[in-house]
Structure 1
Amino acid sequence: MKRIFELAFNDFFNMKKREILETIRHSEGRTVVAECVISCPPLIYGVSNAELAASFGADMITLNTFDFEKPFIFGIDDEGTSLSETENFIKNYFKKIEENRVNADYIKKVKSITGRFIGVNLEPVPESVKNFPKGRRVSKENLEKARFYGFDYVVIAANPNTGVSSEDIVKSLELCREILEEDMIIIAGKMHAAGRENVFDPQVVKGFAINGADVVLIPAPGTVPGMDMDTAKRLIREIHSEGALAMTAIGTSQESAGRETIRDIAMLSKMAGADIQHIGDAGFSGMAFPENIMELSITIRGKRHTYRRMGYSSRK
């Protein structure tokens, strides 16, 4: 079996859920996930954030703020137009949304551009939060659309100040299992408070796995107050006891910190037993500093495998 940093372009299209999970497990803590905001112009003009993250060493790309009601990815869907051409841009924007809504190959195109596994964030935001976009909530319609587009995985988590609790995540997992079945990997957990409690209770993270999460995410050591390597290790032990994989996440804007900070967090996460390491999107213009994605990769798997992953960006 190949390890994840050995996968070539076609592997990312041909592998099923269980194969992907086993490949990650077989990679022994050397899988990198980069999260990208896709609802704003990208960091580098003419190159989507997803492409840039892939080229700097990410194995998996999570699309944050992807709206199933208004599917549009900056850096890809705005090709050929410019924000300075306001009228043309607006016309193209609405035209692309209508096309993307019915295009079953839409996310396959993103995969063909990046050569990576592609996932999407959905949030179990309480009904009391009225101003949260319908197309970004955990719902039957959005999960069915995720299957329609062919996403490889869905992340059930929470952006800042959404008020999502651990109980909200557990409730959403039943619907995810019902709709997604064995077609998509389910990742669930909290990387920061999101306006409510942080996750430090081993029984809570164990509950995510029991209720259907294939991968349980927790804050990486050093990213939220009180989360050190020993605490992360205890949580990961509970996750592994239920047969799930564990993902540590940098979701507190430290993705724009210095390389030394990324290196320290990555090493502590690996020592704690993380199967996957995530780096968030809070750098400039919707993604981590590209060099920090590379630093995370180099720290957990060295330059040889990092450069291999970077070099396999578009090999067919």
Structure 2
Amino acid sequence: MKTGKSSAGDTKARILDATEKLFTEVGYEATSLRQVTSRAIVNLAAVNYHFRSKDIMMHAVLSRRLDPLNARRLALLDACEARWPGHAIRCEHVMGALFVPALQMARDPAVGGPSFLRLLGRVYSDTSPFIQQYLLEHYAPVYGRFFDAFARAIPALPRHELGWRLQFALKALAGVLAGEELASLLPAFTQGRQMSDAHVLAQLTAMVEAVLNVAQPGADQLSALQSVFELGEEQQHAGQHSEQRASSPANDPDASVAATAATMDEAASHAAAALGKARTSARIVRNAGTKRAAVTSVPVRGREHTVSFPSNPLDDWMRMRTRT
């Protein structure tokens, strides 16, 4: 029968194991307390009792795996530097000190197990602020030691150039380790042959070394890439012009219908204005004839000289518009 103490220890271990698996699968941001409780088969009160928050829980998950790993790495690097002092150390020695402890822990279920490499890859490739801050606080001294060792192994490479190349190479390697396709990549990598850990690590080290020692791009490489950029800009401009032509009224059926309707409305307005002018002119002529008839019937001595002003068609049209 289990005691209360052992039961509490089992609960805490189940929570850590569940959190580690979820983090490896989906990353820090997507790992939720609800998922952890479901995976660990515990209630939220148990999680709060042991860890109080997600960050504290995740810190415990990382520390129980990475603290022993870093201790092993530094101890092995010390041994390598003692065996190959100064510039006698090679890039392979430094890479071995970095990855041999990880491979050893991946072989030992008590301290990591087969999923340990994927956990390690997830830690290196996760972009969440919490993980980045954890690495900054816990890995800075370790990274500094290994950076100095790489600098001695490749003395011809400037330190600033070595820095970004190391970041690129190790991040790329971490992304491969974190991927779900790792199980299928390794058989393809070994091509069905039985390969020792040293052989596998030698293959990986060769690729990292190629990145660290690759020559700076020459004039021909820069010119070739610049030509591709220029070609891409030409295609982009051509695509923009095509989109503009496609969206113009001449190519838009709705716009064409709207333009036709506007033209018809304008023509109707002109026709109405012309008809109004014609009606106004006819009315003026009739009024003028009536006035002449009235003047004719008045005795001669009663006539008065009247002054007539020509009609303004614009005024007549405006009056007609007011009435209608």
> TM-score, normalization: structure 2?
0.22
Structure with the bigger RCO (C-alpha within 8 Å, sep 6+) is 1
Structure with bigger gyration radius: 2
The structure that is strand-richer by fraction is 1
| Higher helix proportion (structure 1 or 2) | 2
What is the TM-score with the length of structure 1 in the denominator?
0.22
